[in-house]
A = this chain, B = another copy of it.
Amino acid sequence: MVEIIDGKKEAKHLNEITKQHIEKLAKSGIVPGIAVIIVGHDQASERYVRMKDKKARSLGIYSIMKHFENDISETDLIKSINELNHDPKINGILVQLPLPSHINEQNIIQSIDPKKDVDGFHPLNIGKLFLNLNEQFPVACTPKGIMTLLAAYQVNLNGANVVVIGRSPIVGKPLLALLLNANASVTCLHSHSENITLHTKKADLVISAVGNANTLNDNHFKPGAYVIDAGQNLDINGKLVGDVSYDQNSKNIGFITPVPGGVGPMTIATLMQQTVEMCEWSHVE
């Protein structure tokens, strides 16, 4: 029997801890704040941004949204980010990606004050993560949430063989850093990799962040393997599915995060957690 990891439950637990931190800050009259910037009217993005806003408010985080039309210039977008960089009420700034093609994504990301880069996408923060520096800095929320899940399930990463499939700047690459920092032996595979099974068959833990349904199945794993499915795909019926196809009787999978209900809820909970952490960091300095 495959054990199904309950991401919703862990996210709820994380949100409760975050709420305690918010209440503690409130005693000193401090309210953590997040600003979300969205450009254009992509439905999925709008839905996602509203979900973040709602969750932030429900926890007692000050949340503002800046919604711009598709034709906003790069200069104006950067001007708006600069205002937020200097707004003492805002601890975390998040720009919903993707952006329209006339805007250079890196120029936008690098215009965010690294100390307010709640998504952890700024190259300075990515560099600090890979260097495993002994300081406080934000980390991309999906990978950070995955690490929280692994810790909750007491997965021993020290010396473990871990395979990460996918090398996106949002999931695969920060995960690579986090796993190395946790002393795992890490293999990173991607679209150019040949013979994925050669690697996954030996792995204690496989994390898939490919974005293609049915990328992996039970035959890819060794008995008892832990599987984190960070894929978010729509199947032919428009149903949200992950990268891994399996059923309760799959022989090799020890545990797996379901889609939906696994990594997804952890990402938003981690965004809330990190907003509050960044508020705390700004007040100790």
Contact = CB atoms under 8 A, between A and B. Distances in A.
Interface of A: 106, 122-128, 130-131, 133, 135, 158-159, 161, 167, 169, 173, 176-177, 180, 183-190, 192-194, 198-199, 202
B173 A130 contact: yes
A190 B198 contact: no
B194 A185 contact: yes
Q: Chain A contact residues: over half helix, strand or loop, or mixed?
A: mixed
A106 B131 CA distance: 10
The 5 closest A-B pairs by CB, nearest first: A123-B127, A127-B127, A126-B127, A183-B192, A187-B187
A130 B130 contact: yes
A131 to B, nearest CB: 5
B123 A133 contact: yes
B127 A122 contact: yes
Quickly give the copy total for this chain: 2
Contacts of A122: 127
Contacts of A185: 187-190, 192-194, 199
B194 A190 contact: no
Q: Which of A126, A158, A185, A189 has the most CB of B within 10 A?
A: A185
Nearest to A186: B188
A38 to B, nearest CB: 22
Contacts of A199: 185, 187
Nearest to A167: B180
Nearest to A202: B198
A158 B192 CA distance: 7
A131 B169 contact: yes
A183 B188 CA distance: 10
